[in-house]
């Protein structure tokens, strides 16, 4: 199931095998799992699926502005990764993060209200789709600049290490990010300073339209940690249990051993780069492949075959998810926009004299 890239170079002996269960040998089996747990994963995955479908609808109805990148097709990866984190652990992501926000514990209401640009949104309507942030659940941001979150996440891990804390940082990114300087600088620093962080590359084989093969000289992205003697693991991102196990393993090792890891989750983006992208650059076969790899349907089938997801439970979950998403959209719709009077509230945390509070048509000197 999972390949590992063992760092070469003798100086730093790392125990990559031995006491660790090898994912290769023991692919997770749903027979070993509690039915309740599996149904919970299924519900979370379905929630993200329905939430994103509702988001796309609201976007085309112009209830949501700006760019809008969806997590459709990444549900297994997200739920697996978020299950691996403890509440006290921190998460940094890129701009395709609605599902991560929900998975880290932010209510769908707050996420949808943020998409609608309302003051009840998780970032009070200041961030939008790409900038979900919540101190409480330690989701420390979706970031709109490719690679921007990596140095920040590394710094958060530095703060943990500085204080001797036992939290771990997870830093999610897309495949294209592995080519930017911030990726290499951050992995180097995290490895040099032994920081408790797991970098996660969600590899859906496409930047916006440019493929991994066309942009990465080492297209097996989990191997890119080797330059920093950082262990890399590749996992099937369509398999929620495999992702959970691989991520849990690395998160707990980062915590115990105080060092960084790189995890690559192979995933499929089911739609275009953003809601407005028809993905014409994809061949019919590629589109079919993504569809055939629908992680929610696959997991559903698996649970049905195992007799865990009965028709009745399936309907129950479908109804409750639908209600939750409808409730989130209604909440967003009925929430107020931020007051214009709050425009200058968040420029500075420490107020100082002569901060500008000038509106566009105001004179510089209002007397």
Partner 1 sequence: MSVITYRQALRDTLRAEMHRDENVFLLGEEIGVFEGSYKITEGLLKEFGERRVRDTPIAEEGFVGAAIGAAMLGLRPVVEIMTINFSLIAIDQIINHAAKIYGMFGGQTSVPMVIRTPGGGGQQLGATHSQNIELFYSFIPGLKVLAPSTPAEAASMLRAAIRDDDPVLFLENLGLYNTKGEVPDGDESVAEIGRAAVTREGTDITLIGYSRMAMVAGQVAEKLAAEGISVEVVDLRSLRPLDRDTIVESVRKTGCAVVAEDDWLTYGIGAEIAASIQEGAFDYLDAPVRRVAMAEVPMPYAKPLETAALPSIDSITTAVKETLSAVGRRVG
| Interaction site with partner 1 (CB under 8 A) | 90, 92, 121, 123-127, 131, 133-135, 140-141, 143, 145, 148, 150-160, 162, 181-182, 185-186, 188-189, 192-193, 345-350, 352-356, 363-365
List all residues 6 or more positions away from 43 whose beta carbon is below 8 Å from its beta carbon: 317, 320, 321
Cβ proximity to partner 1: between 156 and 242 the closer is 156
CB of 62 to partner 1, least distance (A): 23
List all residues 6 or more positions away from 323 whose beta carbon is below 8 Å from its beta carbon: none
CB of 94 to partner 1, least distance (A): 13
Cβ proximity to partner 1: between 188 and 211 the closer is 188
Angle at 362 between CA 359 and CA 363, to 5 degrees: 140
Cβ proximity to partner 1: between 39 and 198 the closer is 198
Cβ proximity to partner 1: between 120 and 206 the closer is 120
Cβ proximity to partner 1: between 36 and 163 the closer is 163
* Beta bridge partner(s), residue 211: 206
Residue 255 and residue 58 in contact, taking contact as beta carbons nearer than 8 Å? no
SS3 state at 235:
strand
- Helix 75-84 × helix 295-305 angle, to 10°: 80
Helix (DSSP H) and strand (DSSP E) numbers for the chain: 11, 7
CB of 68 to partner 1, least distance (A): 17
Q: Residue 101: what are its φ and ψ, rounded to 5°?
A: -60, -45
CB of 85 to partner 1, least distance (A): 16
Cβ proximity to partner 1: between 246 and 251 the closer is 251
Helix or strand run (H / E) with residue 190? helix 181-192
Separation between Cα atoms, residue 306 and residue 300, nearest integer Å: 10
Residue 163: C-alpha distances to residues 157, 158, 254 (Å):
10, 9, 16
Cβ proximity to partner 1: between 154 and 177 the closer is 154
Count CA atoms closer than 13 A to 214's CA, side-chain side.
7
Looking only at the bridges linking them, the beta strands covering 3-5 and 261-266 are unpaired
DSSP letter, residue 211: B
Cβ proximity to partner 1: between 195 and 290 the closer is 195
CB of 49 to partner 1, least distance (A): 26
Angle at 104 between CA 314 and CA 187, to 5 degrees: 125
CB of 250 to partner 1, least distance (A): 19
* End-to-end Cα distance, the chain: 70
Cβ proximity to partner 1: between 127 and 207 the closer is 127
Residue 209: C-alpha distances to residues 11, 267, 273, 283, 319 (Å):
40, 15, 8, 11, 36
CB of 274 to partner 1, least distance (A): 19
CB of 90 to partner 1, least distance (A): 8
10 Å Cβ neighbour count for 320?
A: 13
CB of 156 to partner 1, least distance (A): 4
């Amino acid at each position: 199931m999972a390949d590992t890239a063992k760092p070469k170079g003798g100086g730093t002996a790392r125990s990559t095998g031995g006491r660790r269960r090898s994912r290769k040998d023991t692919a997770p089996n749903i027979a070993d799992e509690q039915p309740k747990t599996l149904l919970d994963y299924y519900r979370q995955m379905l929630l993200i699926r329905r939430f994103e479908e509702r988001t796309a609808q609201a976007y085309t109805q112009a209830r949501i502005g700006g760019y809008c990148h969806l997590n459709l097709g990444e549900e297994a990866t997200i739920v697996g990764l978020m299950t691996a984190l403890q509440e006290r652990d921190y998460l940094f992501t890129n701009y395709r993060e609605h599902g991560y926000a929900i998975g880290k514990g932010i209510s769908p209401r707050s996420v949808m209200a943020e998409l609608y640009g309302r003051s009840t949104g998780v970032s009070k309507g200041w961030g939008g789709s790409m900038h979900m942030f919540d101190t409480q659940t330690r989701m420390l941001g979706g970031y709109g600049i490719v690679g921007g979150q990596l140095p920040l996440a590394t710094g958060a891990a530095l703060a943990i290490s500085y204080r001797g804390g036992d939290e771990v940082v997870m830093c999610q990114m897309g495949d294209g990010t592995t080519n930017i300087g911030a990726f290499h600088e951050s992995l180097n620093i995290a490895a040099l300073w032994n920081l408790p962080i797991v970098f996660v590359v969600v590899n859906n084989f496409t930047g916006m339209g440019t493929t991994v093969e066309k942009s990465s000289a080492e297209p097996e992205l989990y191997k890119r940690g080797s330059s920093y003697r950082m262990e890399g693991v590749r996992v099937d991102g369509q398999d929620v249990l495999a992702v959970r196990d691989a991520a849990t393993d690395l998160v707990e090792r980062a915590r115990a051993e105080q060092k960084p890891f790189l995890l690559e989750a192979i995933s499929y983006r089911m739609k275009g780069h953003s809601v407005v992208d028809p993905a014409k650059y994809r061949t019919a076969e590629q589109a079919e492949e993504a569809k055939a790899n629908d992680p929610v349907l696959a997991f559903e089938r698996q649970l049905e075959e195992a007799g865990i997801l009965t028709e009745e439970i399936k309907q129950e979950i479908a109804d409750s998810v639908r209600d939750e998403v409808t409730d989130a959209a209604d909440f967003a719709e009925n929430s107020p926009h931020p007051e214009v009077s709050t425009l200058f509230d968040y420029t500075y945390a420490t107020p100082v004299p002569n901060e500008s509070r000038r509106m566009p048509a105001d004179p510089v000197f209002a007397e």
